[in-house]
Amino acid sequence: MAEESSGEKTEEATQHKLDEAREQGQVALSQELVTALMLAAGVGSLLLSGGYLAETLAQAIHDMAQALSELGPEQLEPNTVALLVGREAQRLALPMAALLTPILAMGLLAGYGQIGFRLSSKALELDLSKLDPLKGFGRIFSLRAVVRTGMGVAKLCALGAALWIAAESQVTRLAGLGTEELGPSLALGLSVQVRFLAIALVAILALALIDLLYQRFQFAKDQRMTKQEVRQEAKSQDGDPAVKGRVKRIQREIATKRMMAEVPKATVVVTNPTHYAVALAYPRDESGQALESAPRVVAKGLDEVAQRIKALATESGVPLYEDVPLARTLHAQCEVGELIPEELYGAVAAVLQQVWSGSEEARRRRSAGESALRRAAAGEVAR
């Protein structure tokens, strides 16, 4: 009780709460991971297509310089220069696309890979509460701000360490670059740069993974709920238990009335004298041919409902047949409206045979009595 009254958020967020947060644009997204993967894609793209881009750029500069040198002073107009620049830009479009497309694709993959693709209109709505200076001041000195600052410092340290590791073994040669030829100097510089990029990428990716874990942990913590919130949400989702109970009670009453309306149409009611009653219908046409492939359960009940079925059957002239095992089996295996299973055909057929034979015997006796009455009446008239 003390925990509930304190309002501590100790419960994991429900799926409904997570869906609402997503609609508001609140997701566990690590921007550090997106940036790191885009950087890795950029480095890989540069290694694969950088040479092609450099050659194309050098050729474009050469051709443009040559074209400008061939123009006279009177031909060197802004329109002419714009045409030359546009032509060379078209030449650079393909290599630039080869360089930038993997970076953009990796950014989309890294972002949507974390949170999935789903547009949220509420996240784009204007929220004036975000302009509140007090809340903004609180965000500046929040734990998130401290973590972001720490992440930035960690990246600077990682880059510095990567640069030191890459250049440490080449310090002597780097100091003497001024005395070496251009070719070896460029090769040494390129080697140091490649080592620096590789070490820096590993460090940045490691920091990005740490940030991803932190973002997910912090998001789950922010979305936690109190016990009262969980109960309130369950109540709002499932409805008021009292109302649900009343609806179920009304539904049961309607189903019982509908079932009782079928009892007068039954062929026989198989009973256990006290507890069970199962009404079976197996209608036949005038020629005695069955209208269905098997008898159908039109009503069943226990105790009070069973007594109501028996009373209604007696009032409607439906015969009652006492068979305790069969009544229990029918009640357990058959639902209202279903045909009886094949394994009960023999037992039910015996019941129906006795019911029908009894009905035919009653009809014969009634017919014989009526004939005797008619004969007696005819003799009285003759006298």
Q: Tokens in use for 47?
A: 């290694």
- 36 assigned to some structural domain: yes
Please check whether residue 217 is in contact with residue 147, taking contact to mean a CB–CB distance below 8 angstroms.
no
- 137 assigned to some structural domain: no
pLDDT digits (tens, 9 = 90+) for 263-309: 888 889 999 877 899 999 888 877 777 788 888 898 998 888 888 88
- 155 assigned to some structural domain: no
- 287 assigned to some structural domain: yes
Among 325, 315, 327, residue whose Cα is nearest residue 269 = 327
- Mean pLDDT confidence for 140-163: 76
Q: Report the alpha-carbon distance of residue 316 to residue 272 in Å, rounded.
A: 19
pLDDT digits (tens, 9 = 90+) for 16-50: 788 877 777 778 888 888 988 998 898 888 888 87
Q: Report the alpha-carbon distance of residue 228 to residue 238 in Å, rounded.
A: 15
Please check whether residue 270 is in contact with residue 277, taking contact to mean a CB–CB distance below 8 angstroms.
yes
Residues paired with 11 in a beta bridge: 225
- Of 125, 141, 172, the residue at which a domain comes to its end is 125
Q: Does position 374 have pLDDT exceeding 50, yes or no?
A: no
pLDDT digits (tens, 9 = 90+) for 184-221: 666 666 666 777 778 888 888 888 898 888 888 888 88
Q: Report the alpha-carbon distance of residue 256 to residue 271 in Å, rounded.
A: 18
- Mean pLDDT confidence for 379-383: 48
What's the pTM? Answer: 0.51
* Reported confidence tier of residue 323, pLDDT bands at 50, 70, 90: confident
Q: How many domains does the chain have?
A: 2
pLDDT digits (tens, 9 = 90+) for 100-150: 899 999 989 988 888 877 666 555 555 555 555 665 555 555 666 777 788
- Of 125, 157, 184, the residue at which a domain comes to its end is 125
- 115 assigned to some structural domain: yes
Domain holding 349, by residue range, is 261-382
CATH number of the domain that 356 lies in?
3.40.1690.10
Q: 202: which residues sit within 8 A by CB, 6+ positions away?
A: none
pLDDT digits (tens, 9 = 90+) for 239-261: 666 767 787 888 888 888 888 88
- 362 assigned to some structural domain: yes
- 82 assigned to some structural domain: yes
Q: Does position 369 have pLDDT exceeding 60, yes or no?
A: no
Distances in whole angstroms, Cα of residue 287 to Cα of each of 17, 46, 348, 354: 66, 92, 21, 19
- Of 98, 125, 152, the residue at which a domain comes to its end is 125
- The distance of Cα 107 from the centroid of its chain, to the nearest Å, equals 25
Q: Tokens in use for 290?
A: 């069955």
pLDDT digits (tens, 9 = 90+) for 332-365: 888 888 898 888 888 888 888 888 876 654 455 4
pLDDT of 104 reads 92
- 7 assigned to some structural domain: no
- Mean pLDDT confidence for 216-233: 85
pLDDT digits (tens, 9 = 90+) for 313-322: 888 888 898 8
